[in-house]
Structure 1
């Protein structure tokens, strides 16, 4: 199902630094390295590119990247599989701000429920990272970041509408000043969809999501913060419908041990809950 829409964005920002540098990535080595230093096949998708695409689903952000194949089992909100370098879908890991997303149903993460409107940066590492992330990282790792990346304070408001009675609206504000980072945003997307079979009813989808994060680096080098992302809604298919809940939450602390060694710890919780209403109902989490 294609979606033709008319949307507008309003951005307000101050103190933006437009200096372009070699991107620093953390997914490939679990530490900050430039793309060249990581010695890995890494693609970085920055916030400007994501906003330019205006994606409705996260798969739209990554499906055009080299070495990435995405297969959707239907329109919006339906099961999505991601294959990195031809490996099986359950051999690709999804991280959100360092928190791993697992699944109690199909064996792979619920890519279809992650709201791209609240993502500020994506890192794609192609090739095995099993030594860092375990046996299910044979294909590679995709990490989405919700923390702000640009200096200064900025806000955004977005609204759009299109065919199939589709609507999207959201707003947020973020600030990066010195050692402090704050980000808050909400988004809602819904569509009536279209019939799956001839003469059938429309099969819709709605996703209401929010994000909040904050961190601060103290003068002694200690950094503390928290992050939260949540999405919930409903997706309909021929023969039933599903209520879903997609959520990540975590607190983290990073302490400098020496000038070349920093120790970090994170306590996190990830939820992929699904309640099915069909001829064979069930609840999975």
Structure 2
């Protein structure tokens, strides 16, 4: 089952990428690159592995993240359209997304944010979510936290392992995927290709009488290839290429836009190598990576409008990471020490143009980031783990920022309890669009913007409760978090540029409870209570509901049959400064509350043979009309039936 983990500061160490591939039960690779028991690292991490993805029927990233404590997912439209994640009340641009340790936030996005509605999960082995400030490890954009997508790996004990999936169902949905992986001597390989196509449903809320009922189709193709070489134990070279392209139908509110379409493409390539020296005392690694995002949007004339637009966005990021891990000697009560240090360099290049005269926008700009970082960890008296790290980032010589993080976790085995605390700073550099963007003759970006910065801490505990002969009959836990974000970037008083004027106060608590009454039944619940307010006015920030609740269960009544019901509740929240959409199709400039909503999903899978599993996925079974974003309705009731195999 998915566990709510008291872990630290790292999901997948940038400095030691190969170590992060080691599958070690109940461990995670920390900031030092040393596999460490999850109970011994002091921060909040949730891991969603491949089994959970399949058993719960998570087909895309936004769907999988809905159950993570501390997160609110808000999608403005159907599949592939913009989905934002608000982690612990922070803005969506304040969550850094990695793929196998490589940043994949889109540099051509106006805010440098990531679209969580884009990624499908056929080639993803696990999703790791770190909550809390993490710039001391990952640099810019890690104010709210970090999400790392780890792609599938080749099995070490098979020379050839074909695998795949075939499924179809409601809304003319078809899912096809296939791959092959294996290990031959010192080489290992993986290649996969998958496609999801669907007619989807109408994303414009049905309460608008002018809606045309036009469906927003989605077609996503993804190809991944990896080749690894391990000439001797402790030394590894690896190359990865991943390509993804989505073609989407886009809607608007309060009316449909039948000829508005988009094409979103990303490719990622990386080469990395690592070697353990001096009997494993020193590990050094180097990675070269490049990502390119290219988005185009076309809005052709239709029965509602004679306007025509052709928008283009292109963003490229090239990076070099060099990192080292040195194991430290024990002394007195201190054991299992390690220090990590390294240097990172990234170059970003953006070209974009959108809209029509006189409001045509454009960006053509570049920037470089150079960073150095170091971290250390030790264990004292076999029960107290302490970590600390610092990093300095220099962005195009116009701004520098030093971030830090410290944390500790205390094991209390006498009470089956773990107590943890951590604190740190983080920053978010202004995007290239915010610095150099142009809109007609009325708006110019501000090249002198300062980074958004934060300082925060968290404190939490987790306890296993034995009962009925089971050591972990139940688990209860809480995490209290609080942070203040300053120098937030917003429009100036004249609305002709941007400036650092705003701040936010964020606090809340994540409550988790897991119950394991029998070997065939596991239930877990997460309740996040968030208080996110404007630092100047005290008003609640838009799209940050006070309560978000998820309840999941795994039921295996007979061997091979797994049933996973899922319930998600999102409380009401302010929509923001623009607009209450009325049934007349008009809008007014006044805030409104998005109403609360509940979604019910159900997935059942049956292992037909050890190699073949059949499954049935039901989504939004109550056919809720809930709007996660004002005017955009959650997809309607749907069902998918299919089979997956691995030989």
TM-score, scaled to structure 1: 0.85
Q: Which residue of 2 aligns with 1:236?
A: 249
CA distance in 1, matches of 2:198, 2:214: 13
**Aligned partner of residue 199 in structure 1, secondary structure:** coil
Matched, 1:63 2:66: yes
Range with greater deviation from structure 2 (208-217 or 34-43): 34-43
**Aligned partner of residue 131 in structure 1, secondary structure:** helix
Q: Contact 1:57–1:112 (CA<8 Å) still a contact in 2?
A: yes
**Aligned partner of residue 180 in structure 2, secondary structure:** strand
Q: How does 1:1-285 map to 2 (within 5 A)?
A: 22-26=25-29, 28-29=30-31, 31-34=33-36, 35-103=38-106, 104-106=108-110, 107-148=112-153, 151-153=156-158, 154-175=161-182, 180-197=187-204, 198-219=211-232, 221-238=234-251, 239=257, 240-258=260-278, 259-278=280-299, 279-285=308-314
**Aligned partner of residue 122 in structure 2, secondary structure:** helix
Post-superposition offset of 1:194 = 2.4
CA distance in 1, matches of 2:44, 2:224: 29
1:44-64 CA distance string (max 9 Å, x none): 222111121232211112220
CA distance in 2, matches of 1:87, 1:205: 29
Q: Contact 2:49–2:125 (CA<8 Å) still a contact in 1?
A: yes
CA distance in 2, matches of 1:191, 1:139: 33
TM-score, scaled to structure 2: 0.39
Question: Structure 1 residue runs of 4+, over 6 Å off?
Answer: none
Cα 1:119–1:90 change in 2 (3 A) is same
CA distance in 2, matches of 1:65, 1:167: 27
Q: Using CA pairs under 8 Å that are at least 6 residues apart, name the structure with larger relative contact order, 1 or 2.
A: 1
Range with greater deviation from structure 2 (77-86 or 144-153): 144-153
Cα 1:191–1:116 change in 2 (3 A) is same
Post-superposition offset of 1:182 = 2.1
**Any unmatched runs of 5+ in structure 2?**
1-22, 205-210, 252-256, 300-307, 315-647
**Any unmatched runs of 5+ in structure 1?**
1-19
CA distance in 1, matches of 2:245, 2:292: 11
**Aligned partner of residue 75 in structure 1, secondary structure:** coil
CA distance in 2, matches of 1:162, 1:169: 12
Q: Contact 2:216–2:248 (CA<8 Å) still a contact in 1?
A: yes
Post-superposition offset of 1:234 = 0.7
Q: Contact 1:110–1:272 (CA<8 Å) still a contact in 2?
A: no
Question: By percentage of residues, which structure has more helix?
Answer: 1
**Aligned partner of residue 267 in structure 2, secondary structure:** strand
CA distance in 2, matches of 1:46, 1:180: 25
Post-superposition offset of 1:265 = 0.9
